[in-house]
Amino acid sequence: MTRHWNSLAFAGFAVLSLTSPAIGAGGPTLQQVKAKGFVQCGVSDGLQGFSNPDDAGNWSGIDVDVCRALAAAIFGDTNAVRFTPMTAKERFTGLQHGEVDLLSRNTTITMQRDVALNLEFTGVTYYDGQGFIVKKESGVTSANDLGGATVCTQTGTTTELNVADFFRVRGLEYKIVAFDKEAQAVEAYEQGRCDTYTTDQSGLFAIRLKLANPDAHLILPEIISKEPLGPAVRQGDDNWEDIVRWTLYAMVNAEELGVSSSNIDEMLKSENPEIRRLLGVEGSFGESLGLSNDWAVNIIRRVGNYGEIFDRNVGAGSPLKIERGYNKLWKEGGLQYAPPIR
């Protein structure tokens, strides 16, 4: 993508004026990140499988791994990253105001967020959709049985409009109760103050594990919306947007090419031209981002390919055990498709 360093302004904030940076130096965000020595990553308040701190404060999850992959690409060190927990409501202003370098927080790409909030989404880490959870004792087995229900959810999310659309289209009555924090909404649901809790289906899997008796709850089969979740950056720094975008693409391409954290040394000797370009054995794709040419080697060795991060965080190798579904590679009938590195 072409870079043009016109002066930029966002939300009445810093106005940067950079002309003709040295080739390979990268844009302002990369330069600031390199100068401070770490990536500042906006994550959730805690959502298992996506971004969740353990008792010692170590973060894990698929969104966290995107941040770690960036740190690996830039610094060759997955620990060169700091996490800022953000509620759903405060995440976009936090990014716009420069509190974080990127948002990697189960955030749905929507036109309004992309266009009106002056953000850029850099790809889809997880194709999701909104669902409902109910208590089995309610006897409800389909979302179509929810007429008259009280629905709990979280403010500042895509969920409220999806619910409104769902009930409106069916001509059903409902009452929504929205909380600032997920924990409050889930508590209200558990205490019976609402009949159902609604959010991204992946989130429902994570939340069910935290309920006192997970088996007493049913995730309804209907998916009522498209929730393509992905990282977001501020508009105006094309180089940073490219780095975040190609970090994800490198992980997806690595899976497609059969390159993983366990065979990376062998793969460095591969004669396959696509693998050689991905791993920087040929070409200078890393330098074109302002990084070193082994940027993708650092990602794959230290974090893994897309399949590895899906599996250990949300898939078969995790407590959530979510099927790959739409998140399979395109060659296996899914939607995960990364443009080529060439």
Q: Which residues are near ligand GSH by CB under 6 A?
A: 44-47, 87-88, 106-108, 154, 157-158, 182, 199-200, 203, 227, 229
Which residue is associated with the tokens 């899914």?
A: 334
Cα(21)–Cα(28) distance, integer angstroms: 9
How far apart CA 146 and CA 148 sit, in angstroms, is: 6
What single letter denotes the amino acid at residue 50? F
Nearest-CB residue for ligand GSH:
203
CB of 150 to ligand GSH, least distance (A): 18
CB of 44 to ligand GSH, least distance (A): 3
Residue whose CB is less far from ligand GSH, 160 or 238: 160
Q: Which is nearer to ligand GSH, 53 or 283 (CB)?
A: 53
- Distance in angstroms (rounded) separating the CA atoms of residues 194 and 206: 19
Q: Are the C-beta atoms of 15 and 67 separated by less than 8 Å?
A: no
Residue 314 phi/psi, 5-degree rounding, is -130, -15
**Smallest separation, CB 301 to ligand GSH (Å):** 30
DSSP codes of every residue in 262-316: TTHHHHTT---HHHHHHTTSSS-HHHHTTS-TTHHHHHHHHT--HHHHHHHHTST
The least distance separating ligand GSH from the CB of residue 46, rounded to whole angstroms, comes to 6
Residue with smaller CB distance to ligand GSH, 84 or 288: 84
At closest approach, how far in Å is the CB of 42 from ligand GSH?
Answer: 11
Closer of 60 and 293 to ligand GSH (Cβ): 60
CB atoms within 10 A of CB 287: 14
Which is closer to ligand GSH, CB of 21 or CB of 156? 156
